[in-house]
Amino acid sequence: MPVTTVPVTTVPVTPVPVTIAPRGSSRPALAGPVRAARPPRHLADLDPADRRAAAEQLGQPGFRADQLARHYFGRLTDDPAQMTDLPASVREELAATLLPRLLTAERELTCDRGMTRKTLWRALDGSYLESVLMRYPDRVTMCVSSQAGCGMGCPFCATGQAGLTRNLSAAEIVTQVICGARSLAQGDVPGGPGRVSNIVFMGMGEPLANYGSVLSAIRRLTDPVPAGLGISQRSVTVSTVGLVPAIRRLTQEQLSVRLAVSLHAPDDGLRDELVPVNRRWKVAEVLDAAWGYAAATGRRVSIEYAMIREVNDQAWRADALAGLLAGHLAHVNLIPLNPTPGSRWTASDPGVAREFQARLAARGIAVTVRDTRGTEIDGACGQLAAASRPGAATG
Ligand code: SAH
Ligand code: SF4
Protein backbone atom coordinates (compact mmCIF):
# COMPACT_ATOMS: atom_id res chain seq x y z
CA MET A 1 0.00 0.00 0.00
CA PRO A 2 1.52 3.38 -0.93
CA VAL A 3 2.28 5.70 1.91
CA THR A 4 0.41 8.98 1.91
CA THR A 5 2.96 11.72 1.69
CA VAL A 6 2.01 14.44 4.12
CA PRO A 7 4.12 17.00 5.94
CA VAL A 8 5.76 15.57 9.01
CA THR A 9 5.13 17.43 12.23
CA THR A 10 7.64 17.29 15.03
CA VAL A 11 6.06 17.95 18.40
CA PRO A 12 8.76 19.02 20.83
CA VAL A 13 8.29 17.35 24.17
CA THR A 14 10.07 18.93 27.10
CA PRO A 15 12.66 16.39 28.21
CA VAL A 16 12.75 15.79 31.94
CA PRO A 17 16.34 15.69 33.21
CA VAL A 18 16.95 12.39 34.93
CA THR A 19 19.31 11.78 37.79
CA ILE A 20 19.35 8.26 39.04
CA ALA A 21 21.70 5.89 40.79
CA PRO A 22 21.57 2.22 39.85
CA ARG A 23 19.37 0.22 42.21
CA GLY A 24 21.32 -1.60 44.84
CA SER A 25 24.35 0.56 44.17
CA SER A 26 26.20 2.50 46.81
CA ARG A 27 27.35 5.00 44.19
CA PRO A 28 25.97 8.51 44.64
CA ALA A 29 23.47 9.77 42.05
CA LEU A 30 25.26 11.26 39.07
CA ALA A 31 23.98 13.86 36.65
CA GLY A 32 23.18 12.48 33.20
CA PRO A 33 22.34 8.99 32.08
CA VAL A 34 23.70 6.16 34.15
CA ARG A 35 23.17 2.52 33.22
CA ALA A 36 20.67 1.18 35.73
CA ALA A 37 20.90 -2.55 36.30
CA ARG A 38 17.12 -2.76 36.09
CA PRO A 39 14.32 -0.23 35.94
CA PRO A 40 12.48 0.23 39.24
CA ARG A 41 9.61 -2.08 40.06
CA HIS A 42 6.22 -0.91 38.84
CA LEU A 43 2.62 -1.99 39.35
CA ALA A 44 2.56 -3.26 35.75
CA ASP A 45 5.39 -5.72 36.53
CA LEU A 46 3.23 -7.43 39.14
CA ASP A 47 0.29 -9.79 38.99
CA PRO A 48 -2.62 -9.04 41.34
CA ALA A 49 -1.29 -11.25 44.16
CA ASP A 50 2.18 -9.68 44.04
CA ARG A 51 0.65 -6.20 43.96
CA ARG A 52 -1.31 -6.89 47.10
CA ALA A 53 1.85 -8.18 48.75
CA ALA A 54 3.64 -5.00 47.67
CA ALA A 55 0.88 -2.84 49.21
CA GLU A 56 1.10 -4.84 52.43
CA GLN A 57 4.86 -4.30 52.54
CA LEU A 58 4.03 -0.60 52.63
CA GLY A 59 1.76 -1.21 55.63
CA GLN A 60 -1.42 -0.88 53.58
CA PRO A 61 -4.28 -3.32 53.15
CA GLY A 62 -3.89 -5.42 50.00
CA PHE A 63 -7.03 -3.99 48.38
CA ARG A 64 -5.26 -0.64 48.02
CA ALA A 65 -3.26 -2.27 45.22
CA ASP A 66 -6.51 -3.09 43.38
CA GLN A 67 -7.66 0.50 43.80
CA LEU A 68 -4.36 1.74 42.40
CA ALA A 69 -4.61 -0.72 39.49
CA ARG A 70 -8.13 0.47 38.72
CA HIS A 71 -6.77 3.99 38.33
CA TYR A 72 -3.83 2.88 36.24
CA PHE A 73 -5.45 0.31 33.94
CA GLY A 74 -9.07 1.50 34.08
CA ARG A 75 -8.74 5.28 34.16
CA LEU A 76 -5.23 5.38 32.68
CA THR A 77 -3.97 7.73 35.34
CA ASP A 78 -0.86 7.64 37.49
CA ASP A 79 -1.57 11.00 39.09
CA PRO A 80 -2.16 10.58 42.85
CA ALA A 81 -4.24 13.81 42.96
CA GLN A 82 -6.92 12.07 40.91
CA MET A 83 -7.12 9.01 43.18
CA THR A 84 -9.71 10.45 45.51
CA ASP A 85 -10.94 7.07 46.74
CA LEU A 86 -7.53 6.54 48.37
CA PRO A 87 -6.77 8.28 51.67
CA ALA A 88 -4.75 11.42 50.91
CA SER A 89 -2.06 10.31 53.33
CA VAL A 90 -1.24 7.12 51.37
CA ARG A 91 -1.79 8.18 47.75
CA GLU A 92 1.58 9.80 47.26
CA GLU A 93 3.53 6.96 48.80
CA LEU A 94 1.64 4.27 46.89
CA ALA A 95 2.04 6.11 43.60
CA ALA A 96 5.71 6.93 44.22
CA THR A 97 6.47 3.31 45.10
CA LEU A 98 4.32 1.45 42.60
CA LEU A 99 3.87 3.90 39.74
CA PRO A 100 7.33 5.37 39.06
CA ARG A 101 7.56 7.26 35.73
CA LEU A 102 9.64 4.83 33.69
CA LEU A 103 9.60 6.52 30.29
CA THR A 104 9.88 10.13 29.16
CA ALA A 105 8.66 11.10 25.69
CA GLU A 106 11.61 12.83 24.04
CA ARG A 107 10.13 13.32 20.60
CA GLU A 108 6.80 12.76 18.99
CA LEU A 109 6.44 12.63 15.22
CA THR A 110 3.09 12.53 13.49
CA CYS A 111 1.92 11.97 9.93
CA ASP A 112 -1.21 10.76 8.11
CA ARG A 113 -3.02 13.85 9.47
CA GLY A 114 -2.14 12.85 13.01
CA MET A 115 -3.43 9.29 12.65
CA THR A 116 0.10 7.88 12.89
CA ARG A 117 2.18 8.96 15.87
CA LYS A 118 5.62 7.74 16.66
CA THR A 119 7.11 8.35 20.08
CA LEU A 120 10.77 8.20 20.96
CA TRP A 121 11.04 7.26 24.62
CA ARG A 122 13.97 7.71 26.97
CA ALA A 123 14.11 5.26 29.85
CA LEU A 124 15.49 6.13 33.27
CA ASP A 125 18.94 4.81 32.38
CA GLY A 126 19.13 6.83 29.16
CA SER A 127 18.18 3.94 26.83
CA TYR A 128 16.04 4.86 23.84
CA LEU A 129 13.06 2.95 22.51
CA GLU A 130 10.17 3.65 20.17
CA SER A 131 6.46 2.97 19.91
CA VAL A 132 4.01 3.82 17.14
CA LEU A 133 0.26 4.40 17.34
CA MET A 134 -1.69 3.89 14.11
CA ARG A 135 -5.35 4.82 13.92
CA TYR A 136 -7.45 3.17 11.21
CA PRO A 137 -11.18 3.57 10.62
CA ASP A 138 -11.95 0.35 12.48
CA ARG A 139 -9.08 -0.08 14.94
CA VAL A 140 -6.10 1.44 16.69
CA THR A 141 -2.89 -0.56 16.59
CA MET A 142 0.09 0.09 18.80
CA CYS A 143 3.49 -1.17 17.73
CA VAL A 144 5.65 -1.61 20.83
CA SER A 145 9.31 -2.28 21.58
CA SER A 146 10.33 -5.26 23.71
CA GLN A 147 14.04 -4.39 23.97
CA ALA A 148 16.18 -1.28 23.72
CA GLY A 149 18.02 -2.28 20.54
CA CYS A 150 18.28 -5.89 19.39
CA GLY A 151 21.04 -8.45 19.39
CA MET A 152 19.91 -10.46 16.36
CA GLY A 153 21.89 -8.46 13.81
CA CYS A 154 19.59 -8.65 10.76
CA PRO A 155 21.54 -6.51 8.26
CA PHE A 156 18.50 -4.74 6.74
CA CYS A 157 17.15 -3.54 10.10
CA ALA A 158 18.18 -0.29 11.80
CA THR A 159 17.61 -1.76 15.25
CA GLY A 160 19.78 -4.73 14.36
CA GLN A 161 22.62 -2.44 13.28
CA ALA A 162 22.64 -0.74 16.66
CA GLY A 163 22.93 -3.92 18.73
CA LEU A 164 21.25 -4.71 22.03
CA THR A 165 21.28 -2.19 24.85
CA ARG A 166 19.06 -4.16 27.24
CA ASN A 167 15.79 -5.97 27.76
CA LEU A 168 12.81 -3.84 28.72
CA SER A 169 10.85 -4.64 31.85
CA ALA A 170 7.21 -5.70 31.51
CA ALA A 171 6.15 -2.31 32.85
CA GLU A 172 8.27 -0.46 30.29
CA ILE A 173 6.44 -2.39 27.57
CA VAL A 174 3.02 -1.81 29.16
CA THR A 175 3.76 1.89 29.69
CA GLN A 176 4.13 2.42 25.93
CA VAL A 177 0.54 1.17 25.49
CA ILE A 178 -0.89 2.99 28.51
CA CYS A 179 0.51 6.29 27.25
CA GLY A 180 -0.98 5.68 23.80
CA ALA A 181 -4.30 4.68 25.36
CA ARG A 182 -4.26 7.84 27.46
CA SER A 183 -3.66 10.07 24.41
CA LEU A 184 -6.55 8.36 22.64
CA ALA A 185 -8.91 8.58 25.62
CA GLN A 186 -8.12 12.28 26.01
CA GLY A 187 -8.96 12.89 22.37
CA ASP A 188 -5.37 13.90 21.48
CA VAL A 189 -5.50 11.73 18.35
CA PRO A 190 -7.72 13.07 15.54
CA GLY A 191 -10.96 11.12 15.16
CA GLY A 192 -12.32 11.63 18.67
CA PRO A 193 -11.74 9.68 21.88
CA GLY A 194 -10.83 6.05 21.26
CA ARG A 195 -9.20 2.94 22.64
CA VAL A 196 -6.21 0.80 21.72
CA SER A 197 -7.62 -2.34 20.10
CA ASN A 198 -4.51 -4.11 18.73
CA ILE A 199 -0.91 -4.55 19.81
CA VAL A 200 1.98 -5.74 17.67
CA PHE A 201 5.40 -6.56 19.10
CA MET A 202 7.09 -5.17 16.00
CA GLY A 203 8.97 -2.23 17.41
CA MET A 204 12.55 -2.51 18.56
CA GLY A 205 13.82 -5.83 19.79
CA GLU A 206 13.22 -9.54 19.57
CA PRO A 207 10.30 -10.27 21.91
CA LEU A 208 11.13 -13.94 22.39
CA ALA A 209 14.67 -13.02 23.50
CA ASN A 210 13.03 -11.17 26.42
CA TYR A 211 10.56 -13.93 27.10
CA GLY A 212 9.67 -13.37 30.76
CA SER A 213 8.98 -9.65 30.46
CA VAL A 214 7.07 -10.04 27.21
CA LEU A 215 4.86 -12.78 28.63
CA SER A 216 4.18 -10.77 31.72
CA ALA A 217 3.42 -7.68 29.59
CA ILE A 218 0.98 -9.70 27.46
CA ARG A 219 -0.85 -10.81 30.61
CA ARG A 220 -1.01 -7.28 31.97
CA LEU A 221 -2.24 -5.93 28.64
CA THR A 222 -4.87 -8.63 28.15
CA ASP A 223 -6.13 -9.47 31.65
CA PRO A 224 -9.37 -7.63 32.44
CA VAL A 225 -9.32 -4.43 34.53
CA PRO A 226 -8.05 -4.15 37.27
CA ALA A 227 -5.63 -7.04 36.69
CA GLY A 228 -4.70 -5.51 33.33
CA LEU A 229 -5.80 -3.35 30.43
CA GLY A 230 -8.36 -5.79 29.00
CA ILE A 231 -7.25 -5.94 25.35
CA SER A 232 -8.24 -9.18 23.60
CA GLN A 233 -5.39 -11.72 23.31
CA ARG A 234 -6.51 -12.37 19.75
CA SER A 235 -5.63 -8.76 18.94
CA VAL A 236 -2.03 -9.14 20.09
CA THR A 237 0.71 -10.21 17.64
CA VAL A 238 4.13 -11.40 18.72
CA SER A 239 6.65 -11.16 15.89
CA THR A 240 9.76 -13.31 16.11
CA VAL A 241 12.90 -13.79 14.10
CA GLY A 242 12.49 -17.54 14.73
CA LEU A 243 13.84 -18.54 18.15
CA VAL A 244 12.62 -22.12 18.00
CA PRO A 245 12.79 -23.15 21.69
CA ALA A 246 10.96 -19.94 22.67
CA ILE A 247 8.26 -20.52 20.02
CA ARG A 248 7.76 -24.01 21.47
CA ARG A 249 7.58 -22.56 24.96
CA LEU A 250 5.03 -19.95 23.85
CA THR A 251 2.99 -22.78 22.34
CA GLN A 252 2.60 -24.25 25.85
CA GLU A 253 1.29 -21.02 27.41
CA GLN A 254 -2.34 -21.48 26.34
CA LEU A 255 -2.56 -17.98 24.95
CA SER A 256 -4.45 -17.02 21.84
CA VAL A 257 -2.08 -14.31 20.63
CA ARG A 258 -1.09 -14.31 16.96
CA LEU A 259 2.41 -15.43 16.05
CA ALA A 260 4.29 -13.71 13.23
CA VAL A 261 7.50 -15.28 11.93
CA SER A 262 9.98 -13.05 10.09
CA LEU A 263 11.06 -15.46 7.37
CA HIS A 264 12.34 -13.17 4.56
CA ALA A 265 13.74 -16.10 2.53
CA PRO A 266 12.56 -19.66 1.83
CA ASP A 267 16.11 -21.04 1.49
CA ASP A 268 18.71 -21.39 4.22
CA GLY A 269 21.49 -20.01 2.02
CA LEU A 270 19.91 -16.56 1.79
CA ARG A 271 18.21 -16.64 5.17
CA ASP A 272 21.57 -17.28 6.86
CA GLU A 273 22.59 -13.88 5.51
CA LEU A 274 19.37 -11.89 6.02
CA VAL A 275 18.50 -13.36 9.41
CA PRO A 276 21.77 -14.50 11.02
CA VAL A 277 19.98 -16.51 13.73
CA ASN A 278 19.05 -18.89 10.89
CA ARG A 279 22.53 -20.35 11.26
CA ARG A 280 21.26 -21.77 14.55
CA TRP A 281 17.65 -22.63 13.64
CA LYS A 282 17.01 -23.40 9.98
CA VAL A 283 13.93 -22.54 7.92
CA ALA A 284 12.47 -26.05 8.29
CA GLU A 285 12.86 -26.01 12.09
CA VAL A 286 11.36 -22.53 12.39
CA LEU A 287 8.35 -23.47 10.28
CA ASP A 288 7.91 -26.75 12.15
CA ALA A 289 7.70 -24.77 15.41
CA ALA A 290 5.31 -22.30 13.74
CA TRP A 291 2.99 -25.11 12.62
CA GLY A 292 3.06 -26.47 16.17
CA TYR A 293 1.89 -23.06 17.36
CA ALA A 294 -0.85 -22.92 14.72
CA ALA A 295 -2.06 -26.41 15.68
CA ALA A 296 -2.16 -25.57 19.39
CA THR A 297 -3.95 -22.24 18.99
CA GLY A 298 -5.95 -22.76 15.80
CA ARG A 299 -4.57 -19.42 14.64
CA ARG A 300 -2.96 -18.69 11.28
CA VAL A 301 0.71 -17.84 11.58
CA SER A 302 1.72 -14.66 9.84
CA ILE A 303 4.84 -15.09 7.68
CA GLU A 304 6.65 -11.76 7.35
CA TYR A 305 8.66 -11.26 4.18
CA ALA A 306 10.51 -7.97 3.54
CA MET A 307 10.72 -7.52 -0.23
CA ILE A 308 14.35 -6.63 -1.05
CA ARG A 309 15.13 -5.77 -4.65
CA GLU A 310 16.98 -8.55 -6.48
CA VAL A 311 17.85 -10.19 -3.18
CA ASN A 312 14.82 -12.27 -2.15
CA ASP A 313 12.11 -11.24 -4.65
CA GLN A 314 12.74 -13.68 -7.53
CA ALA A 315 9.84 -15.69 -8.94
CA TRP A 316 11.54 -18.97 -8.01
CA ARG A 317 11.71 -17.86 -4.40
CA ALA A 318 7.97 -17.10 -4.47
CA ASP A 319 7.39 -20.65 -5.71
CA ALA A 320 9.73 -22.09 -3.09
CA LEU A 321 7.91 -20.14 -0.38
CA ALA A 322 4.55 -21.35 -1.67
CA GLY A 323 5.87 -24.92 -1.51
CA LEU A 324 6.82 -24.49 2.15
CA LEU A 325 3.50 -22.96 3.17
CA ALA A 326 0.93 -24.83 1.06
CA GLY A 327 -1.50 -26.77 3.23
CA HIS A 328 -0.52 -24.96 6.43
CA LEU A 329 -2.34 -22.38 8.54
CA ALA A 330 -0.36 -19.43 7.24
CA HIS A 331 -0.76 -15.96 5.86
CA VAL A 332 2.05 -14.07 4.11
CA ASN A 333 2.65 -10.43 4.83
CA LEU A 334 4.88 -8.86 2.17
CA ILE A 335 6.66 -5.76 3.51
CA PRO A 336 8.27 -3.35 1.05
CA LEU A 337 11.80 -2.91 2.45
CA ASN A 338 12.25 0.38 4.21
CA PRO A 339 15.91 1.06 3.43
CA THR A 340 18.12 1.99 6.36
CA PRO A 341 20.62 4.82 5.88
CA GLY A 342 23.71 3.67 4.03
CA SER A 343 22.17 0.29 3.18
CA ARG A 344 23.02 -1.33 -0.14
CA TRP A 345 19.51 -2.74 -0.33
CA THR A 346 16.28 -1.16 -1.47
CA ALA A 347 12.62 -2.12 -1.86
CA SER A 348 11.54 -4.44 -4.67
CA ASP A 349 10.25 -2.97 -7.86
CA PRO A 350 6.44 -2.76 -7.45
CA GLY A 351 5.87 -4.91 -10.56
CA VAL A 352 8.19 -7.59 -9.21
CA ALA A 353 6.43 -7.46 -5.83
CA ARG A 354 3.05 -7.87 -7.56
CA GLU A 355 4.34 -10.89 -9.47
CA PHE A 356 5.68 -12.40 -6.23
CA GLN A 357 2.30 -11.87 -4.59
CA ALA A 358 0.43 -13.32 -7.57
CA ARG A 359 2.56 -16.48 -7.60
CA LEU A 360 1.78 -17.11 -3.94
CA ALA A 361 -1.92 -16.42 -4.45
CA ALA A 362 -2.00 -18.77 -7.46
CA ARG A 363 -0.86 -21.57 -5.14
CA GLY A 364 -3.71 -20.80 -2.73
CA ILE A 365 -1.55 -18.95 -0.17
CA ALA A 366 -3.24 -16.06 1.63
CA VAL A 367 -1.07 -13.02 1.00
CA THR A 368 -1.28 -9.29 1.61
CA VAL A 369 1.11 -6.39 1.22
CA ARG A 370 1.83 -4.69 4.53
CA ASP A 371 0.60 -1.18 5.04
CA THR A 372 3.79 0.84 5.41
CA ARG A 373 2.21 3.59 7.44
CA GLY A 374 4.48 6.12 8.92
CA THR A 375 7.44 5.36 6.71
CA GLU A 376 8.31 9.02 6.50
CA ILE A 377 8.48 9.42 10.28
CA ASP A 378 10.02 6.06 10.85
CA GLY A 379 12.74 5.68 8.33
CA ALA A 380 12.54 2.06 9.36
CA CYS A 381 12.23 0.11 12.56
CA GLY A 382 14.72 1.57 15.02
CA GLN A 383 15.92 4.45 12.89
CA LEU A 384 14.62 7.19 15.12
CA ALA A 385 16.28 5.71 18.17
CA ALA A 386 19.43 4.99 16.18
CA ALA A 387 19.57 8.64 15.12
CA SER A 388 19.15 9.74 18.74
CA ARG A 389 22.05 7.80 20.19
CA PRO A 390 24.79 10.03 21.54
CA GLY A 391 27.21 10.87 18.76
CA ALA A 392 24.71 10.23 15.96
CA ALA A 393 24.69 12.84 13.22
CA THR A 394 20.97 13.54 13.43
CA GLY A 395 18.49 13.47 16.24
N1 SAH B 1 12.45 -8.80 16.12
C2 SAH B 1 11.16 -9.17 15.68
C3 SAH B 1 10.13 -8.05 15.83
C4 SAH B 1 10.59 -6.65 15.51
S5 SAH B 1 10.96 -6.32 13.83
C6 SAH B 1 11.21 -9.69 14.27
O7 SAH B 1 12.24 -9.53 13.61
O8 SAH B 1 10.23 -10.28 13.85
C9 SAH B 1 9.33 -6.27 13.09
C10 SAH B 1 9.32 -6.58 11.63
O11 SAH B 1 9.94 -5.52 10.88
C12 SAH B 1 10.07 -7.86 11.26
O13 SAH B 1 9.32 -8.64 10.36
C14 SAH B 1 11.32 -7.30 10.60
O15 SAH B 1 11.92 -8.23 9.76
C16 SAH B 1 10.77 -6.08 9.89
N17 SAH B 1 11.79 -5.10 9.50
C18 SAH B 1 12.90 -4.73 10.15
N19 SAH B 1 13.59 -3.80 9.45
C20 SAH B 1 12.89 -3.59 8.32
C21 SAH B 1 13.09 -2.75 7.18
N22 SAH B 1 14.15 -1.96 7.09
N23 SAH B 1 12.16 -2.78 6.21
C24 SAH B 1 11.09 -3.59 6.29
N25 SAH B 1 10.83 -4.41 7.34
C26 SAH B 1 11.74 -4.42 8.34
FE1 SF4 C 1 16.08 -7.66 15.70
FE2 SF4 C 1 13.80 -8.04 14.35
FE3 SF4 C 1 15.54 -6.12 13.61
FE4 SF4 C 1 16.19 -8.70 13.24
S5 SF4 C 1 14.49 -7.55 12.28
S6 SF4 C 1 17.53 -7.13 14.10
S7 SF4 C 1 15.26 -9.63 15.04
S8 SF4 C 1 14.38 -6.19 15.51
Question: What's the pLDDT score for residue 14?
Answer: 34
Q: How confident is the model at residue 342 (pLDDT cuts 50, 70, 90)?
A: confident
Q: How far is the CA of 217 from the centre of ligand 1 (A)?
A: 20
Distance between Cα 202 and ligand 1 center (Å):
7
SS3 2: coil
Q: In ligand 1, which atom is closest to the CA atom of 239?
A: 8
Q: What ligand 2 atom has the least distance to the C-alpha of 158? A: 3
Least confident of 78-92, 146-160, 171-185, 362-376: 362-376
Tell me which ligand sits closest to the C-alpha of residue 346: 1
Does residue 305 have its Cβ closer than 6 Å to ligand 1?
A: no
pLDDT in the model for residue 370: 79
Q: Which runs of E-coded beta strand occur in 13-139?
A: 103-111, 116-123, 128-135
**Cβ of 381 less than 6 Å from ligand 1:** yes
| Ligand lying nearest the CA atom of residue 149 | 2
Question: Considering the entire predicted model, what is its pTM?
Answer: 0.89
The answer, yes or no, to whether residue 21 has pLDDT greater than 80, is no
Secondary structure string (H, E, C) spanning 105-129: EEEEEEEHHHCEEEEEEEECCCCEE
pLDDT given at position 365 = 98
pLDDT of residue 24: 32
How many angstroms separate the CA atoms of 385 and 143, rounded? 15
* Whether the CB of 243 sits within 6 Å of ligand 1: no
Q: Whose CA is nearest to atom 20 of ligand 1?
A: 157
Q: Which residues line ligand 2 (CB under 6 A)?
A: 150, 152-154, 157, 159-160, 205-206, 241, 262, 381
3-state secondary structure of 177: helix
- pLDDT top residue among 10 and 55: 55
Identify which has the larger pLDDT, 319 or 21. 319
**CA-160 nearest atom, ligand 2:** 6
Which residues are bridge partners to 132 per DSSP? 118, 143
Long-range contacts of 14-18 (CB under 8 A, 24+ apart): 15/104, 15/106, 15/122, 16/101, 16/104, 18/104, 18/122, 18/124, 18/126
How far away, in angstroms, is 206 Cα from ligand 1 center?
A: 9
- CA 256 / ligand 1 centre spacing (Å): 22
* Torsion-angle region of 168 (φ positive above 0: left; ψ -120 to 50: alpha; else: beta): beta
382: CA distance to ligand 2 center in Å? 9
List residues with catalytic annotation. Answer: 130, 381
Tell the residue nearest (CA) to atom 14 of ligand 1: 262
Question: What would the mean pLDDT of 170-194 be, rounded to a whole number?
Answer: 96
Residue 282 has pLDDT above 50, yes or no: yes
Report the distance separating Cα 189 and Cα 192, nearest Å: 7
